[in-house]
Amino acid sequence: MAGDGPGAVTQHVAATGTTVNGRRLELVTGDITHQSVDAIGNAANSALRGGGGVDGAIHRAAGPGLLDELVSRYPSGTPTGTAADTNAHGLSARWILHAVGPIWRGGSHGEAEHLAGAYRSCLELCDQLGARSLALPAISMGIYGYPPAEGARTAIRTVGEHLRADTSLEVVRFVLFSEETHAHFAAALVEELEGGPDAGGASSSA
């Protein structure tokens, strides 16, 4: 029957997530502030003083204590391509990881490396903190203008690499703000699942 072959199975799996080295990599569309996980990633600016989009939503949900902690612990912010941790304050998580992605400037200014670094810093902070579950947004893909297809590929590849290594994480969930963004991440996950050696260790179990 048309649409029931292996390719269709992969497309379906990629729409919801997959298993990597016994750990879950998930894709959902929704509000990241409502996630019940150990750590929530925030798409922050380098000053770590709040902003629009995901950043603003997290600050509003967490309450004023979040900004107070950021000012106290990180008076100089954190550089592009890194992340800083705080308590989660009014959120149901334990920690917020404030990741600073790059502003897109055409792709020749280290944007890919900085974007991967922002995700990688969140993942490494989870290991340091002992977090077992992490919700991540689509970093840099809002007002920072990162091309969505390229950004999704970098995100999926970076998380997949981390889950194939030794980590405390059992679940990483991308919480995406639109169906269009979700589609880009699902397509990137298809590439990861079908990409040969670079996708080693990923299984297509729903």
Please indicate, yes or no, if residue 16 is contained in any of the structural domains.
no
Please indicate, yes or no, if residue 140 is contained in any of the structural domains.
yes
Long-range (24+ apart) CB contacts under 8 A made by 61-67 are: 61/33, 61/90, 61/91, 62/33, 62/88, 62/89, 62/90, 62/91, 62/96, 63/89, 63/90, 65/89, 65/90, 66/90, 66/96
pLDDT (tens digit per residue) in 133-175: 999 999 999 999 999 999 999 999 999 999 999 999 999 999 9
Residue 2 has pLDDT above 60, yes or no: no
Please indicate, yes or no, if residue 205 is contained in any of the structural domains.
no
Share of the chain above pLDDT 90, in %: 85
Please indicate, yes or no, if residue 2 is contained in any of the structural domains.
no
- Looking up residue 63, the CATH number of its domain turns out to be 3.40.220.10
By residue range, what is the domain housing residue 55? 23-196
Give me the mean pLDDT over the 115-133 stretch: 98
Residues annotated as catalytic are 55
* Domain total of the chain: 1
Q: How confident is the model at residue 13 (pLDDT cuts 50, 70, 90)?
A: low
Please indicate, yes or no, if residue 189 is contained in any of the structural domains.
yes
Residue 33 has pLDDT above 70, yes or no: yes
Residue 92 has pLDDT above 50, yes or no: yes
